[in-house]
Amino acid sequence: MASGSIPSFTFKAYGEDNPRQVSGSGSSSRHHSDSESEICPTTKSLARLCSRDKDERATALEKLSEKILVCLELDRTGSARLSKETLLHLLRLSRSCPLQEVRMRATELLCIAQEEGIEVPRALASGPSAFIPAKELLIEGLNQDILVESFLSLGRVDHLTMVMALHPSYLSCFLRTQHALFELDGPLPRDWRHYVSVMAAARHHCSYMVQQHSKAFLEAGGDKSWLSGIKHAPVKLRSLHTLNKLLAHRPWLITQQHIQELVCAGAEPRWSLAELIHAVILMAHTHSLCSFVWGCGLNPEPDHIGGYAFHPPSPSHIPRSPHSPAHEDSRPELVDGAVEVEVLMKRMVELQQQQEEEECTQEEMVTRFERQRSESIPTAVVRGAPPELVLGLVEEPEFRYEDFAPRGEQSPSTMRAQDYSWEDHGFSLVQRLLPDMGQFLDEEFQVVSNLTYNRMAMHEDVDTYTLRKALWNYIHCLYGIRYDDYDYGSVNVLLERSLKVFVKTMACHPEQTTARIYHAFWRHFRHSEKVHANLIVMEARLQAALLYTLRSITAYIK
């Protein structure tokens, strides 16, 4: 299990606001401006707050304060020298910067601006997650070091990072993979990488991920018109549409033919195998992250559309963001939650003893798998049309997930893990076509598979291996992947129905996730344990989607 520190990345103002990128609710004659005085804060000066040198950081903070105060002094005529972008940057720092001195100074500057009569933005959410209490994700908590490192490396600490920081060893390797995918040298240009992720996030109506990558796309020099609709993007990028929708919703339908249409000599436009594998990993990576975003109920960032509003200086009611995951006011009763934990622990012990004493025939193992994959698990109420933010970025929005094995229907052939696996086949193919990326992905899979704190709810010194294995294999079962040596009867023993509902919703149509189904399972478990379950679902889904695509690429190469 990896536990290394986050790599030091070159700060590229990721997420820094650009006048082309920010639009939002509210208007004011004093916070909109097309041109700022040269004395006002710039992206470069704001980036100096991320210096690893404490003295340099302190100097940058003082200069930032001086510039803003000078702007306010000069702003007596209402000429709006403080732009919306500067105000939103201050809001983000005041809400999520793990460096206390920066966070407090940003808060102070916003207060001064408000006292001067400038309408300042207010965050619409009380914390990173609509499902997890903010006090459990406080940036002054136990994971302070990894959040500080993230801020110094990336220039911001977003809600995704704050929630993942509940599991620092996983966050560390995740950030390495993310950096390699989007920043290191590779076959795809940097702006294309982020646009591919925008396309992928739009499949799951994930405004959060669309906005994150839209900003990064523009910062990498991308054409703003592409974000107004996929029809404005190059034909080569648009040719990924079929692969994108299948990867997102039904990866088992991907065939050698889909690969051939993109990479064969007569294809126009033609993708190289290296370019295609890069795009495939970007799409699958983003699809699985959408599962995590929805599954953890992440709120919009303070500088996202839907994450802030401008209000007059007097206090007013802050409405809930319309872009937050749908959730209900009530939570399920916690009656007998402790009893459920005891029952689960007893089942884990009994199951281990039973497996040591009994041996199932191969026929019985297959029967149990088929029974599991054809089980009917209801999911949440289907959402309506995609939100306006992603409407023009998704083609065929009606194409959604369908069960791999609907009752009474002929299903596709099961993928036997023994015939095509990540360890024996996928890893080496990715390493060959996109050097080092196989290693990054493998580390993620290994860390999440081995991640354990040897505790469960209120109990310590608990071996949770069988539970973690059941979760991983259940997700692969939903995607039609079978392990010959696994007894799928274990899934029904260890995974309660409410957990199955959550897992299937999150893995297969995450945009339907609600607070009710999040709170309904593992009612006496810590939120960090539920986030752990989210990580398992996310990585198992990622690997399943990659396996189907890599198998088709292997078939094409042969």
Locate 300 and state its tokens.
């919009």
Locate 435 and state its tokens.
């050097």
Q: How many residues does the chain have?
A: 558
Secondary structure (DSSP) of 146-184: HHHHHHHHHS---HHHHHHTTSHHHHHHHHHHHHHHHTS
- The answer to whether residue 206 is catalytic is yes
Q: What are the Cα distances from residue 249, in Å, to 245, 385, 482?
A: 6, 16, 19
Whether 90 contacts 109, CB under 8 Å: yes
Residues 172-190: b if buried by 16+ CB within 10 A, e if exposed: bbbbbbbbbbbbeebbbeb
The amino acid at 286: T
The four Cα atoms 298, 315, 24, 509 give a dihedral, to 10 degrees, of 20
Q: H helices of 75-123, where? A: 84-96, 100-115
First to last CA, the chain: 35
Query: Residue 326 and residue 513: Cα distance in Å, rounded?
Result: 7
Q: What are the Cα distances from residue 173, in Å, to 38, 331, 439?
A: 40, 34, 11
Catalytic residue (one of 206, 296, 477, 508): 206
Query: Measuring CA to CA, which residue among 77, 6, 76, 11 is closest to residue 43?
Result: 11
Widest CA span of the chain, in angstroms?
84
Q: H helices of 332-394, where? A: 337-357, 362-373, 388-391
**Residue 435 DSSP one-character state:** T
**Residue 16 DSSP one-character state:** -
Locate 488 and state its tokens.
């799928």
Q: H helices of 183-223, where? A: 190-203, 207-219
Spatial neighbors of 194 by CB under 8 A, at least 6 apart, are 182, 213, 214, 216, 217, 220, 222
Residues with a known catalytic role: 206
